[in-house]
Amino acid sequence: MIVIGGGHAGCEAAVAAARRGARVALLTTSLETIGQLSCNPAMGGVAKGTVIREIDALGGVMGRATDRATLQFRMLNRGKGPAVWAPRAQADRGLYRRAVRSELEQHAGLATVQGTAARLRLDAHGAVAGVETTEGRFFGARAVVITTGTFLNGRIHIGTGLSVSGGRAGEPATTTLADQFRELGLVTQRFKTGTPPRIDGRSVDYRALERQDSEIDDFDYSWSVFWPTPRRTDHGTRHPDQLPCWITYVESAAKQIVSDRLSESAMYGGAIGARGPRYCPSIEDKIVRFASAERHQLYLEPEGHDTHELYVNGLSTSLPVDAQLQLLHAIPGLERAHMTRAGYAIEYDFVPPTQLHPTLATRACAGLFLAGQINGTTGYEEAGAQGVVAGLNAAAHALALEPIVLGRDTSYIGVLVDDLVTRGVDEPYRLFTSRSEFRLTVRQDNALDRLYGIGARLGLYTGEERARAEARLADVAHATALAESTRVTPAQVDPVLLAAGERPLAHAMPLLEIARRQKVALRDLFDAAGVGADLQREAVLTTELELKYAGYLARERRAAARLQRMGDFALPETAPYDAMLTVSVEARQKLAVRRPSTLAQAASIPGVSPADLQNLILEVERWRRA
């Protein structure tokens, strides 16, 4: 099989396919930009951090590369309890890119090839047979995964006067594939996104800024670290030396500049008509939509250890270059900032994802899979998640194996894919915890526990990885058993309880009961009782959460079991929905377009009611008997 594109979706697709046993060629226009962090050099965050850990649990590279490149780390939501903690790491761009390429090259069945895809070659039945490149090469394949990101008919805009074809600054767009999509019957639409200017950190007045230091500790995204001798630095972790971020604000003077020159923005001057990501707005959008806000926060984020360049997070813009300079110089601390790169907006083609199966295979062409921003999403993590699903299923198609579909109850990856193929998108899709019905059971700390069984069944791990994973799962089981079997006295645990603001014990009692108190950590209780010293820290955290939220988790798992039963009820691809008269007209129309493969997917389509689902079961059973 062939993967077109060396971004986050492409790299994860290639590795997932290679782990499943396929021979893979990753075709990219530049080998040097494999794993490029095109926009923000940050990985993770709310929901997104959980996705990275899920990708990692299935053998992906994003978590491993981030661990080798982290230059600042924050655990978000620490004040809300560990069940909703969200890891976020700033990455060194250069280290991250090199780490990704190194991970790819560890797989003997995966080759990277520099070249530009020109066309898909199809067989006599209209199925994928390979890829032709603009350099005149041909690669035969049984399956192709396309992960072109913003490169598909991409066009870069700076102000209203500068508009050039490109998928990223300085790199050409892909146009011929877009033409072929239309020939295949795939509908395409346009979205836009943007990026902020970068500045030279040596020209910043840090005295006017708020400093934000790293919270780095022993956290790793990946459960399987390949480094033969983990390097311990001054701060006691395997990660590179840490760097601070800096906080400043767009205040009245800078807001006035944006307002005065708004008509010169590509977005507001009429050069761009496509819709952009609502949750990552440009500075122009912020000034217009939130006019009453006194100021807007910006983060100055380091790009790497080998450069002074800073990423101005929160200042995405398509204003002209001189307006961007004027704006920067009106921001506290940046009065003399040197702009190293201008911000810009980019429009690009995407394929509305309701044209895909839950495997991310296209309905229009057998053997063709799509992943990443081409499916209408935004974000590195969302792209990587789709890459895993597309890569595993493209390999299954090529090798005549069973496809894999992750459920909403198993992962945020399952939520993401199900949302895309059943609900579609009307703006660039971004994951949030609120999109999941199972966010207490689908957490960042238990990704391996949830997905290891699937990965092992698909043969995604080496022997060493299986051993490490099973040791982690054994530690969870051991921690649970210790909590249930250990009895503690007031003398042992009262100091821990009082320090946590909890009432002391009146008498000896099972450690399990004390661990359910919200303010006390299970690790501290184990230490006080003199047990569990050799258990992995994260295994203990997972056990603690399972004990503290046992009632809520049981309720979620009952709901997950109901969803699983609905998922087991298959809907035929050729079901005659138009003839199912007991189903509402709106539901019939939407079912006929979306063609869900299970009752659970039908249930997630807006406009399909519970009554429609009941009648749908009867209609499908009647049709099958006939």
314-336 mean pLDDT: 97
Question: What pTM does this model have?
Answer: 0.91
**What does the alpha-carbon distance between residue 122 and residue 366 come to, in Å, rounded to a whole number?**
9
Residues 6+ apart with CB under 8 A from 336: 203, 205, 329
Would you say residue 56 has pLDDT above 90? yes
43-50 mean pLDDT: 95
DSSP state of 475: H
Condensed to tens digits (0 to 9), the pLDDT of residues 513-560 reads 999 998 999 999 999 999 999 998 889 999 999 999 999 889 988 888
Tokens coding 141: 């394949």
Residues 6+ apart with CB under 8 A from 499: none
Instruction: Name which of 486, 596, 578, 590 is nearest 531 in CA terms.
Output: 486
Judge whether 24 and 397 are in contact, CB under 8 Å: no
The answer to whether 463-553 and 569-625 have equal CATH topology is: no
- DSSP letter string, 203-236: G--GGGSEEE-----S--S-S----SSPPP-TTS
Give the pLDDT score at 123: 96
Which pLDDT band holds residue 236 (cuts at 50, 70, 90)?
very low
Condensed to tens digits (0 to 9), the pLDDT of residues 335-373 reads 999 999 999 999 999 999 999 999 999 999 999 999 999
Stated length of the chain: 626
417-440 mean pLDDT: 91
Helix, strand and coil percent figures for the chain, each rounded to 5: 40, 20, 40
Q: How many other β-carbons are positioned within 10 Å of the β-carbon of residue 20?
A: 24
Instruction: Tell me the CA end-to-end span of the chain in Å, nearest whole number.
Output: 40
The rounded percent of the chain whose pLDDT value lies above 70 is 97
Residues 6+ apart with CB under 8 A from 31: 6, 101, 112, 114
Give the pLDDT score at 604: 82
Domain at 463-553, CATH from 3.30.420.60, 1.20.1260.10, 1.10.10.1800, 3.40.50.2300 = 1.10.10.1800
Tokens coding 522: 């299970």
Domain at 2-196+348-458, CATH from 3.90.79.10, 3.50.50.60, 3.40.720.10, 3.40.190.290 = 3.50.50.60
Which pLDDT band holds residue 78 (cuts at 50, 70, 90)?
confident
Which pLDDT band holds residue 406 (cuts at 50, 70, 90)?
very high
Give the pLDDT score at 217: 67
Cα torsion angle, 357, 362, 363, 368, sign: negative
Would you say residue 229 has pLDDT above 90? no
Which pLDDT band holds residue 437 (cuts at 50, 70, 90)?
confident
Burial, 551: exposed, middle or buried (Cβ in 10 Å; 0-12, 13-18, 19+)?
Answer: exposed
The rounded percent of the chain whose pLDDT value lies above 90 is 77
Would you say residue 235 has pLDDT above 60? no
Residue bearing the bigger pLDDT, 565 or 122: 122
Give the pLDDT score at 225: 57
Q: Domain map of the chain by residue range?
A: 2-196+348-458, 463-553, 569-625
Give the pLDDT score at 612: 86
**What does the alpha-carbon distance between residue 216 and residue 616 come to, in Å, rounded to a whole number?**
52
Which pLDDT band holds residue 230 (cuts at 50, 70, 90)?
very low
Amino acid in position 348? Y
227-255 mean pLDDT: 74
Would you say residue 423 has pLDDT above 60? yes
Q: What is the CATH number of domain 569-625?
A: 1.10.150.570
Residues 6+ apart with CB under 8 A from 84: 77, 433, 439, 443
Cα torsion angle, 571, 575, 578, 581, sign: negative
Give the pLDDT score at 218: 66
**What does the alpha-carbon distance between residue 56 and residue 51 come to, in Å, rounded to a whole number?**
8
**What does the alpha-carbon distance between residue 616 and residue 603 come to, in Å, rounded to a whole number?**
10
The distance of Cα 549 from the centroid of its chain, to the nearest Å, equals 26
Which pLDDT band holds residue 231 (cuts at 50, 70, 90)?
very low
Angle at 190 between CA 192 and CA 384, to 5 degrees: 65
Judge whether 25 and 133 are in contact, CB under 8 Å: no
What is the chain's mean pLDDT, rounded? 92
Name the pairing type of β-strands 42-44 and 309-313. Answer: unpaired
